[in-house]
Amino acid sequence: MRQGRTERTDVLRCAGASGEGGVSGCARTARSGRMSVYAAASEANRFTAEELEEFLGVERAQFEKEIRAAFDEHDTDNDGKVTADQVRVLLQDMDFGFSEKTVASMMEGIAGDDGFAFRNFLTLVYDVLGVEIAMAKGNTSLQRSHTQGARRGKAVADMLQCMPLIDRVMKTLGSEEGKIPLSLIVDYLNRIPELKKHDAALRASIKTIRNAGESVDEHTFSELLIDIACEDVAVSVQTILESLLKFHQEPQ
């Protein structure tokens, strides 16, 4: 993988949780019953475009585009294939919430001994999504988590589209070490009118990254933006980023 782009795969971990059936809360609590559900789940062709879009929070084509980008980053030999170990890393980064044993059992028979082609990897991804969709349809108690997952999915989709802008913010506000002072981020965020209406949510989001220290790197900064967007605030990731740049350019 190209150094410095690991954050993009880290951000993709939310894609598995990005729709009606988000993994972030329900996957870990429902893991014990998943294999029985998986036995009845089929591959991508079972799902309509509407079902997938509802579940993922983004269009199927956009989701597959991001999956392809993550796959290509791990295809270090540029031979169109990744190893089984690399597939495990990808699934872990996407944070579907499956144990290593479950992932191993799902991988059996999908790829040859020489590795996973993209179509094989995509089949595996959709098999995992099949479990999530089946769980979502069969367990109404998960609906609250699904709604939260949908919000996070939209935030992740926005984030993926704003990566060039994030790079610009990191270069403009950050130090030579590639980190931005947390105090500076907090100051600028508090100036955004839309966020003032959600002060409690903003403070909660900031609190979650306090342990990162006085400065935050690109990955931690991206996670903060996603957390803020997940609070259903009336401001987009792009607007937040553009506001940070604007405030930084103003006379201090």
Domain ranges of the chain: 6-149, 162-249
For the chain, give the mean pLDDT.
68
Q: Which of 15-29, 116-130, 196-210 has the lowest mean pLDDT?
A: 15-29
Q: Which of 53-57, 185-189, 225-229 has the lowest mean pLDDT?
A: 53-57
Model confidence pLDDT, tens digit, residues 115-135: 788 887 887 777 767 656 665
Q: For residue 132, what pLDDT is reported?
A: 62
Q: Are 148 and 25 in contact (CB under 8 A)?
A: yes
User: What residue spans of the chain are helical by DSSP H?
Assistant: 6-12, 23-30, 34-38, 49-56, 60-74, 84-94, 100-107, 118-138, 143-161, 163-173, 182-189, 193-196, 199-207, 218-230, 237-249
Please say if the pLDDT value at position 189 is more than 80: yes
Determine how many CB atoms are found less than 10 A away from the CB of residue 63: 26
Q: For residue 134, what pLDDT is reported?
A: 60
Q: For residue 32, what pLDDT is reported?
A: 31
pTM of the predicted protein model? 0.45
Q: Which residue has the higher pLDDT, 139 or 16?
A: 139
Q: Which residue has the higher pLDDT, 202 or 18?
A: 202
Instruction: Report how far Cα 187 is from the mean position of its chain's Cα atoms.
Output: 26
Please say if the pLDDT value at position 27 is more than 60: no
Which residues does residue 116 pair with via DSSP β-bridges, in sequence order? 82
